[in-house]
């Protein structure tokens, strides 16, 4: 485990708690006292302040990267050189150029690589993606994904040189990949328009961002991210298709609410802002945020020598889309997504759900009116004229 911080904690609890037979053998931390304390807390036999020693430890099969963004490339290169499987937290790189170097390194070394995008693994999301792939919603036209909270927990996130960007990079990566999974990761992202601004925090990077990613088939992936949202962490997704809709709330409003006038205080949930009044605990945070499912997928892939659901290639594509978002925020116009490598469908037709009503008309809509009558809207095939017919109740 590389990194003894917040995400390293989540990762280690997940690995030790779910599969149990998997054991973190060594923890790397840049801070000696923190590494020692982390090892003691999690029952890890060894700790070190040398990243190279941790990666090359003979008992290590898989390297898990939970480090600040500026250290991802160094860690991946070390893992690839050692011939070790490597799993990296999000975002893969500070930019697409870094992400592509990481992809090249692991593919040249021939090692398993997994991109730790936990928010495609929550139980609700897994079930929703399965439903979409089975055709339950028809063709997906629009995915809206939102992640907002009061801001990250460590100083390096707020330093643009170390992190590579602000909220768009930190949380937009989640939302973009969620949309790709619903729309289809084999559908090419073609252009982006985005807004990114610094509205509240005294930082160089953006603290609020909105964006729309257009895919080759016409589908839109929309993201809404903020480091200035008050009230905790808000994770919501909406999926619209030609035959149905899905709404998912993964955090904040999950059906578990508690009121306290100020009794025992302590950790409530990630990014919670208060410990009294109405609070919103999470039943099993590691499960709700997808960590159990994510590591199960990654380790099964390692055992079976297959790719996990999320690989470094996915991380690279996301970084490329986010780079395009930043260009769009500067130009204030639609910008093309420029992928060095595309491994999806070469050509995708436009979304189409047109069906005939009769030999002369195309069906538009049917609706039951308040008086019980059924109104049907039609479009004439030859003239294009819109008309309606009404059926009595």
Is residue 174 within 8 Å of residue 148, measured between CB atoms?
Answer: no
Model confidence over 212-262: pLDDT tens digits? Answer: 999 999 999 999 999 999 888 899 999 999 999 999 998 767 777 777 776
Phi, psi of 365 (to 5 degrees): -165, 150
What are the structural domains of the chain? 6-118 (3.40.50.720), 119-285+312-336 (3.30.360.10), 361-391 (no CATH)
Read off the pLDDT band of 302 (50, 70, 90).
very high
Which residue's entry shows tokens 């130009």? 331
Sign for the pseudo-dihedral over CA of 115, 117, 120, 123? positive
| DSSP structural state of residue 301 | H
E strand segments, 275-385: 277-279, 335-336, 361-368, 374-380
Instruction: Please tell me whether residue 333 adopts helix, strand or coil conformation.
Output: coil
Give the span between the Cα atoms of 227 and 148, in whole angstroms.
Answer: 6
Q: What is the mean pLDDT of the chain?
A: 93
The pLDDT, as a whole number, for residue 280 is 75
Instruction: Please determine, for residue 305, whether its predicted confidence score (pLDDT) is greater than 80.
Output: yes
Enter the tokens of residue 158: 């707020």
Model confidence over 85-129: pLDDT tens digits? Answer: 999 999 999 999 999 999 999 999 999 999 999 999 999 999 999
Which residue's entry shows tokens 């294009």? 384
Is residue 302 within 8 Å of residue 85, measured between CB atoms?
Answer: yes
Determine the average pLDDT of the residues in 9-22: 85
Enter the tokens of residue 388: 């309606």
Instruction: Please determine, for residue 19, whether its predicted confidence score (pLDDT) is greater than 70.
Output: no
The pLDDT, as a whole number, for residue 283 is 78
Q: If 0-12 CB within 10 Å is exposed, 13-18 middle and 19+ buried, where does residue 283 land?
A: exposed
Is residue 16 within 8 Å of residue 42, measured between CB atoms?
Answer: yes
Phi, psi of 37 (to 5 degrees): -65, -40
Is the peptide bond preceding residue 384 cis, with omega within 30 degrees of 0?
A: no
Instruction: Please determine, for residue 33, whether its predicted confidence score (pLDDT) is greater than 80.
Output: yes
- Contacts for 292 with CB less than 8 Å, ≥ 6 apart: 14, 17, 18, 121, 286
| DSSP structural state of residue 10 | H
The pLDDT, as a whole number, for residue 153 is 87
Enter the tokens of residue 19: 């599969």
Model confidence over 257-280: pLDDT tens digits? Answer: 777 776 656 666 666 667 777 777
The pLDDT, as a whole number, for residue 233 is 85
Instruction: Please determine, for residue 293, whether its predicted confidence score (pLDDT) is greater than 80.
Output: yes
């Amino acid at each position: 485990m590389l990194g003894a911080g917040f995400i390293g904690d989540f990762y280690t609890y997940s690995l030790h708690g779910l599969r149990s037979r998997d054991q973190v053998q060594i923890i790397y931390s840049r801070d000696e006292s923190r590494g020692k304390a982390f090892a003691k807390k999690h029952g890890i036999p060894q700790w070190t302040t040398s990243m190279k020693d941790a990666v090359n430890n003979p008992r290590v099969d898989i390297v898990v990267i939970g480090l600040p963004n500026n250290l991802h490339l160094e860690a991946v290169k070390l893992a690839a050189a050692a011939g070790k499987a490597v799993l990296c937290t999000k975002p893969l790189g500070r930019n697409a150029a870094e992400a592509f170097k990481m992809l090249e390194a692991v593919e040249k070394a021939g090692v398993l690589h997994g991109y730790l995008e936990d928010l495609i693994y929550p139980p609700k999301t897994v079930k929703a993606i399965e439903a979409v792939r089975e055709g339950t919603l028809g063709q997906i036209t629009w995915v809206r994904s939102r992640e907002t909270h009061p801001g990250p927990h460590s100083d390096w996130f707020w330093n643009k040189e170390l992190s590579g960007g602000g909220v768009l990079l930190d949380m937009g990566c989640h939302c973009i990949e969620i949309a790709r999974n619903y729309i289809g990761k084999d559908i090419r992202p073609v252009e982006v328009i985005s807004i990114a601004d610094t509205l509240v925090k005294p930082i160089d990077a953006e603290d609020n961002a909105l964006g729309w990613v257009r895919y080759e088939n016409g589908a839109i992936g929309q993201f809404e991210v903020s480091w200035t949202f008050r009230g905790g962490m808000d994770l919501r997704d909406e999926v619209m298709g030609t035959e149905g809709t899905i709404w998912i709330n993964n955090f904040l409003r999950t059906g578990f609410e508690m009121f306290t006038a100020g009794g025992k205080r302590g950790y409530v949930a990630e990014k919670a802002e208060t410990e009294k009044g109405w609070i919103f605990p999470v039943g099993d945070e590691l499960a709700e945020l997808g960590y159990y499912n994510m590591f199960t997928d990654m380790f099964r892939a390692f055992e079976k020598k297959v790719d996990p659901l999320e690989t470094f290639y996915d991380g690279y594509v996301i970084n490329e889309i986010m780079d395009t978002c930043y260009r769009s925020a500067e130009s204030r116009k639609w910008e093309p997504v420029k992928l060095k490598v595309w491994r999806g469908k070469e050509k995708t037709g436009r979304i189409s759900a047109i069906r005939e009503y009769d030999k002369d008309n195309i069906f538009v809509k049917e609706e039951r009116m308040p008086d019980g009558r059924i109104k049907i809207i039609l479009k004439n095939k030859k003239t294009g004229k819109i008309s309606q017919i009404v059926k009595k109740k």
